Amino acid sequence: MSVLWCHRQARVGLILLALMVLAVFVGPLFVGDPDAFVGRPLDPPSLSHLLGTTGQGQDVFAQTIVGGRTTLGLGLVVGLAVVMVGSVIGGLAGYIGGRVDDVLSFLINVFLVLPGLPLMVVLAAYLPAGPGSMAAVLILTGWAWNARVLRAQVASFRRRDFVEAAIVAGESPMRVLIVEILPNMASLLGGSVLGATTYAVGAQVGLEFLGLGDLGAVTWGTNLYWATNDSALLTGSWWTFVPTGTCVALTGLSLALINFGLDSVTNPALSADVGRGAPGPQPTPVRRST
């Protein structure tokens, strides 16, 4: 973690993410009920309502803060779950190899070529609304990508000398996986969780925007759904959809920045401050002190 902090972009990302998490999990204690009718509908931002009111006269600020709790919370949980499912299946395939690998790889490939968004739309439409269904849909459509990546990594590690040595020495497969292979994949897993969370938040918001989520709940996605429904664009009420959209973007940005940092740690060649903008490989420069 300390290494990430040194990376400028990652540091910004971490701070941003921390602020957002703080805002959405602690913030609701300080704002009023987002569902309550507080004033004239479609009122622009003012001192009484920092971000104005929605088409139903609700406080946009409260809705933005409270909405984040479900969206971010579910996003993080689903992100972790997707990586867990993906690592178990991918890990088993990569580690055991042979027939098991053939079957699991086929399964992974089938899920990979299934078109995600339509599948999500269909599933979301037919399952009862609620966070459980949303989580199920997201995990079902998202696990395969991680599984493939992790399978490849585990398979390549499996063939490395130190793993073979451990197996010959009699370590149980479980131990080999957890003690020998897993620590080496820490950054890949970290990056996967970041990516999966980004995907989970984005997909959630997308589905809810289409009206396929729990319309009674207050989430970032439903905020945007209601904003469109109340003709935000036609009335020019930008405050009903700009704050939520920006929050989603800031979440995605923070995760991406942390990911940049993680990329640089695993592959220092990818750091931001390598090179001076010269075209292509240059001869070693000569700098004389006198």
Partner 1 sequence: MTALLPHLVRRLGFYLLAAFAALTLNFFVPRMMPGDPATAIFARFQGKLDPAALDAMSTAFGISDAPLYTQYLDYLLNTLHGELGTSLTYFPAPVTAVIGTGLMWTVVLAGTALVIAFAAGSAIGAWAAWRRGGLLDRIAPPLLAFIGAFPYFWLAMVAVWGLGFQLGWFPVRHAYSPEVSPGWSLEFVGSAIQHAFLPAGTMIVASLGGWLLTMRNTMVGVLDTDAIRYAQARGLSPRRILWHYAVRNAMLPSLTSFGMALGFVLSGALLTEIVFGYPGQGYLLLQAVRGQDYPLLQGLFLTISLAVLAANFAVDVLTLVLDPRIRR
Partner 2 sequence: MSACPILQIKDLHVAYGDTEVLAGASLDVQAGELVGLVGESGSGKSTLVQGALRLLPFPAQINGGEVIVDGVDLLGLSHAELRRTWWDKVSLVPQNALSALNPMLTLRAHFDETLLAHGITDPAERHKRAEDGMRMVELAPSRLAAHPHMLSGGMRQRVAIALALVLDPQLVVFDEPTTALDVVVERQILDQISSLRKERGFGAIFITHDLTLLQSIADRVAVLYAGQIVENAPVAELGGPKSHPYTRGLLAALPPRLDEDRHAVPIPGAPPRVGDAIPGCRFAPRCVEVVAACSERPALKLVGPGHQVACVHALAVESS
DSSP sequence for 26-38: HGGGTS--TTS--
Query: At 219, which amino acid appears?
Result: T
CA 230/CA 46 separation, integer angstroms: 20
> Judged by CB under 8 A, does residue 128 bind partner 2?
no
Question: How distant is the alpha carbon of residue 78 from its chain centre?
Answer: 9
The CA-based diameter of the chain, rounded to the nearest angstrom, is 76
Q: How far is the CB of 192 from partner 1 (least distance, A)?
A: 16
Q: Which is nearer to partner 1, 182 or 256 (CB)?
A: 256
Beta carbons of 270 and 263 less than 8 angstroms apart? yes
Residue 250 Ramachandran class (φ > 0 left, ψ -120 to 50 alpha, else beta): alpha
> Judged by CB under 8 A, does residue 161 bind partner 2?
no
Q: How far is the CB of 145 from partner 1 (least distance, A)?
A: 10
Q: Which is nearer to partner 1, 176 or 243 (CB)?
A: 243
286 binds, among partner 2, partner 1, none (CB under 5 to 8 A by kind): partner 2
In the stretch 226-265, what mask flags binding to partner 2 with x, by CB under 8 A?
Answer: ----------------------------------------
User: What are the distances in angstroms from CA 14 to CA 5, 77, 250, 262, 275?
Assistant: 8, 18, 11, 12, 25
CA 133/CA 128 separation, integer angstroms: 7
Burial class (CB in 10 A: 0-12, 13-18, 19+), 192: buried
285 binds, among partner 1, partner 2, none (CB under 5 to 8 A by kind): partner 2
Q: Which is nearer to partner 1, 179 or 233 (CB)?
A: 233
> Judged by CB under 8 A, does residue 277 bind partner 2?
no
Burial class (CB in 10 A: 0-12, 13-18, 19+), 67: buried
CA nearest 79: which of 140, 139, 147, 129?
139
Q: How far is the CB of 262 from partner 2 (least distance, A)?
A: 21
CA 5/CA 11 separation, integer angstroms: 5
Query: At 129, which amino acid appears?
Result: A
Q: Hey, which residues does 59 pair with through a beta bridge? A: 53
Q: How far is the CB of 254 from partner 1 (least distance, A)?
A: 9
Count of residues that interact with partner 2, criterion CB under 8 A: 12
In the stretch 3-32, what mask flags binding to partner 2 with x, by CB under 8 A?
Answer: ------------------------------
288 binds, among partner 1, partner 2, none (CB under 5 to 8 A by kind): partner 2
110 binds, among partner 2, partner 1, none (CB under 5 to 8 A by kind): partner 1
Chain residues binding partner 1 by CB under 8 A are 9, 106, 109-110, 113-119, 121-122, 125-128, 198, 202, 205-206, 209-210, 212, 224, 228, 232-234, 236, 238, 241-242, 245-246, 248-253, 256-257, 260, 263, 267, 269-270, 272-281, 283
Query: Which residues here bind partner 2, judged by CB under 8 A?
Result: 274-276, 281-289
